[in-house]
Amino acid sequence: MPEIRVTPLGAGQDVGRSCILVSIAGKNVMLDCGMHMGFNDDRRFPDFSYITQNGRLTDFLDCVIISHFHLDHCGALPYFSEMVGYDGPIYMTPPTQAICPILLEDYRKIAVDKKGEANFFTSQMIKDCMKKVVAVHLHQTVQVDDELEIKAYYAGHVLGAAMFQIKVGSESVVYTGDYNMTPDRHLGAAWIDRCRPNLLITESTYATTIRDSKRCRERDFLKKVHETVERGGKVLIPVFALGRAQELCILLETFWERMNLKAPIYFSTGLTEKANHYYKLFITWTNQKIRKTFVQRNMFEFKHIKAFDRAFADNPGPMVVFATPGMLHAGQSLQIFRKWAGYEKNMVIMPGYCVQGTVGHKILSGQRKLEMEGRQLEVKMQVEYMSFSAHADAKGIMQLIGQAEPEHVLLVHGEAKKMEFLKQKIEQEFRVSCYMPANGETVTLPTSPSIPVGISLGLLKRETAQGLLPDAKKPRLLQGTLIMKDSNFRLVSSEQALKELGLAEHQLRFTCRVHLHDARKEQETVMRVYNHLKSILKDRCVQHLPDGSVTVESILIQAAAHSEDPGTKVLLVSWTYQDEELGSYLTSLLKKGLPQAPS
């Protein structure tokens, strides 16, 4: 029995460390290879020993697919390919391929240089790993080998995020990675055609949330910033370097443009500059507005946003500053925060979630006095929270399922409790089975792959010439010969099959005797049979031949007197194998006897 097996090594009923193994028609594919933010020990990477204890992974995996550049989707890649050992192809989209190494390098630096970890992958390993990457463009079908093919769809979420269809023969699996069904200021919405995969593996971060319109949030955000700037205050927006930062930049940039504002906007340098560079390059991956504006100018060539210098923080007058990191736990954003916190006019806007223990979390929960480097810091500036998240909400997930029409759904990348709800909903609304395996748990789905059979043109034409077009509602009988040769199926007409196989045709004839009680002469009996058949089979060609026999198309009927009983006539009905249907119908008809002659 053919089947699809799915085993999450990470992201099974969990967020982080996405890594899912899929076996489909004998091919093994690994989807994503992420790290877990919450752990610092071995648990931060997926357990690759599950795949094989010894020996190289290359022998067991046909390919690896990375959906987007977030570290929880690609963070373990150098470890996996260089330290564990994998030499096969790694597929990702061009933006992911460009941005991924920057993030990996950054991640490595923090882990090794700051935390002093040993036995971590090196810069060289990142480079070597990236050499194994093959770029996949949107809607491009890549033939991994003779049977396995993959195709990328747009997923929104971050620049270059993609959903992947993995297809072997007629069996297919779609993996969504992270996606967003509502467009934002710089990216479009995820889209997939009605590909009807056997299995859809979808993220479910917001399985139990239905979100409000994005416009309100944007409007609030802009209004807050505008008001502060107008009254001469400074706005600090702590961000992570990639993703949301660009969205907010575009948002502010266009707003500044529209409203003709003059206050400077700064973006803290470093990582982000490189990242912005890639955003400029990959315009085709952004939304309609940016793509259309590109004819005039690249919207990522910011007019109002300039690079930040440490000295600018002390400049008088209003300004807006984007600074990393996003949770105010260290670095530049914290420095600026310390400088500005004491003035009521200023404002800090936290655009994302903050982990407990960080300064960000403290001020968001309303703490106004902070202890910092042994000194008291009173926070007088305004503190605002705005959530700009780029995952599909429950409705979005349902919408995607509706678009793709899969046979089964499998949930990953979410919390178990929330998945439970969504699972129930999916089963209820779409009537498809839904799974939510935990890490290490395997789901097996039986499939019934269809087997394509090639039909010869001659046969097909002959069939269509005979009758109407194929109709979905009525099955039709078609006669031919199935030739199976080297896992290749062909349906040809029997003549052609005979010719190809070099066989002589055997005539197969059925002959049947039907006894009729009829005292009259043979000729009269034949006449009666002829009239009877003629009256019943109106649309067939019934003929009375001069030699005393009756033909119904190619079926021959002859009458003879019974050798013993002259009152009984024997009708000899003879037909070839091809006319079996009509022949058997005729005999049954004749067996019922002839109608009483009007005497």
- Find the shortest distance in angstroms from Cβ 205 to other proteins: 12
Comparing C-alpha atoms, which of 308, 306, 358 is closest to residue 330? Answer: 358
Q: What is the rounded distance in angstroms from the CA atom of residue 422 to the CA atom of residue 204?
A: 8
Query: Which candidate in 82, 171, 203, 384 is catalytic?
Result: 203
173 close to 203: Cβ distance less than 8 angstroms: no
CA 319/CA 401 separation, integer angstroms: 44
Supply the minimum distance, in Å, between the C-beta of residue 189 and other proteins.
5
Residue 188 and residue 289: Cα distance in Å, rounded? 9
Closest approach, Cβ 182 to other proteins, in A, equals: 6
The structure tokens listed for 195 are 């590909």
CB neighbours (10 Å) of residue 94? 18
Comparing CA positions, the residue from 168, 39, 67 lying closest to residue 413 is: 67
> Is 441 designated active site?
no
Q: Is the dihedral of CA 52, 55, 61, 64 positive or negative?
A: positive
Based on CB atoms, which residue is closest to other proteins, 141 or 424?
424
Beta bridge partners of 570: 515, 560
Task: Report the nearest approach of other proteins to the CB of residue 410 (Å).
Answer: 18
208-225 b/e with 16+ CB inside 10 Å = b? beebeeeeebbeebbebb
Question: Closest separation between CB of residue 558 and other proteins, Å?
Answer: 39
How many angstroms separate the Cα of 163 from the Cα of each of 67, 152, 169, 293, 537?
6, 6, 19, 26, 60
Sign of CA dihedral 533, 536, 542, 543: positive
CA distances from 561 to 102, 169, 393, 520, 594 (A): 99, 63, 85, 10, 16
Binding region for other proteins (CB under 8 A): 182-183, 185, 188-189, 191-194, 208-220, 222-224, 226, 254, 257-260, 287-289, 350, 364-366, 382-385, 394-395, 398-399, 402-403, 418, 421, 424-425, 429, 464, 468-470, 472
Amino acid at 116: G
Strand partners, 135: 92
> Cα–Cα distance between 85 and 53 in angstroms, integer?
12
In DSSP notation, 492-508 reads: E-HHHHHHHHT-PPPP-
Beta carbon of residue 292, minimum distance to other proteins (angstroms, whole number): 9
Asked if 308 and 324 count as a contact pair (C-beta separation under 8 A), the reply is: no
Least CB distance to other proteins at residue 339 (A): 21
Q: Which residues participate in catalysis according to the annotation?
A: 203
